[in-house]
Amino acid sequence: MTKIAENYDIKNDTTFKIGGRIKKAAFPDSVEDFIELLKSNEYDIVLGGCSNVLFSSNDIDKKIIFTKNLKNFSFNQNELYVECGAKGPYISKECANRSLSGFEFLIGFPGSFGGMVCMNASAHNQSISDTFKSARVFDKENNTIIELSKEEMNFSYRNSVIQNKNYIVIDVKFDLIPENSEKINEIMSRNIEFRRLRQPSLSTGNAGSIFKNPQNDSAGRLLDLCDMKSQKEGGAVVFDKHANFILNQNNATSSDVISLMYKMYTKVKEKYTIELHPEIIYIGNKETEEEKLWKKMN
């Protein structure tokens, strides 16, 4: 069964805790229902953990499928099958329990497998592409399901063929690496501690890194050198421990976030002649000023 909601208030489903009402939301609870919805051609976007998105604070004229109920998984020796809505931290623990390495980096952030494959999520010297084997994806253009190998995914930093061809990830297979479980748990504990010390907890709204790293550098390092920590626009503030995070400190709107991003972008451009580009994805119709600033940063 698919739950459908019209005029759906999206704010609390996002890690940023920002967003207005979306025209129509669908929550399929089986892969078969998900495929039916995709084939109907009615929906504009598919979202998983909503941890890399900034929704407009105004009404959003979009129909969106949310995959959060598609979270089945199974293991066949070191091969993992996982549906697109399953969350990284939960699956990384399941892998650790089976002495399988490859997902120690997923312990600290709330992405779904569909979103993480789409964005080629990475951290702590591991990435989704490392152990990726194949994915079943929906090809919107031809209204068919195809299977993509690792080579066909064209993975690169925060990118994959999923973004470029507008494919939808249905489910994925990974080849994980047998490893001593003590070693896996030790790496996971280290990763959690790293995040605890340097990154905001999800109790304050945020969407992870705001800008992509420029080649051979770190957006956080450049923003820090530009004294961006604790800078504010409306209810949005730059995190005081890591300048590539924006916190929704006090009912921030999408305009507050974009204005603050533009301030960050401008400072780095002026000081280092380096242009930062957003990692987060904007959803909805931008207000005139939002549109102007967003365009300059892309």
Ligand X SMILES: Cc1cc2nc3c(=O)[nH]c(=O)nc-3n(C[C@H](O)[C@H](O)[C@H](O)COP(=O)(O)OP(=O)(O)OC[C@H]3O[C@@H](n4cnc5c(N)ncnc54)[C@H](O)[C@@H]3O)c2cc1C
Judged by CB under 6 A, the residue of 8, 51, 95, 237 near ligand X is: 51
- CB 36 → ligand X: shortest distance, Å? 15
Judged by CB under 6 A, the residue of 96, 107, 116, 238 near ligand X is: 116
- CB 162 → ligand X: shortest distance, Å? 5
Applying the rule CB under 6 A, the residues between 162 and 191 that interact with ligand X are: 162, 168-169
Q: Does the annotation count 195 as an active-site position?
A: no
Stretch that binds ligand X, among 24-32, 119-127, 172-180, 218-226 (CB under 6 A): 119-127
Helices (H) and strands (E) in the chain, counts: 9, 18
Q: Does the annotation count 218 as an active-site position?
A: no
Tokens of residue 170, six digits: 């249905």
- CB 278 → ligand X: shortest distance, Å? 12
Which burial class, exposed, middle or buried, applies to 48 when counting CB atoms under 10 A from its CB (0-12, 13-18, 19+)? Answer: buried
Which residue of the set 57, 92, 101, 209 is catalytic? 209
The mark string for 9-28 relative to ligand X (x by CB under 6 A, - otherwise) is ------x-------------
Q: Does the annotation count 98 as an active-site position?
A: no
Applying the rule CB under 6 A, the residues between 188 and 227 that interact with ligand X are: 199, 202, 206-208
Beta bridge partners of 159: 156
Which burial class, exposed, middle or buried, applies to 257 when counting CB atoms under 10 A from its CB (0-12, 13-18, 19+)? Answer: buried
Local structure of 136: helix, strand or coil: strand
Nearest-angstrom CA–CA distance, 277 and 298: 6
Q: Which string of b and e fits 62-76 if b means at least 16 CB within 10 Å?
A: bbbbbbbbbbebeee
- CB 266 → ligand X: shortest distance, Å? 24
**E strands, 56-166, in order:** 60-66, 73-76, 79-83, 100-101, 122-123, 126-127, 132-139, 144-149
- CB 151 → ligand X: shortest distance, Å? 19
Can residue 52 be called a binding residue for ligand X (CB under 6 A)? yes
The residues annotated as belonging to the active site are: 158, 209, 279
Interacting residue ranges for ligand X, rule: CB under 6 A:
15, 45-53, 67, 84, 109-112, 114-116, 118-119, 121-123, 162, 168-169, 199, 202, 206-208, 281
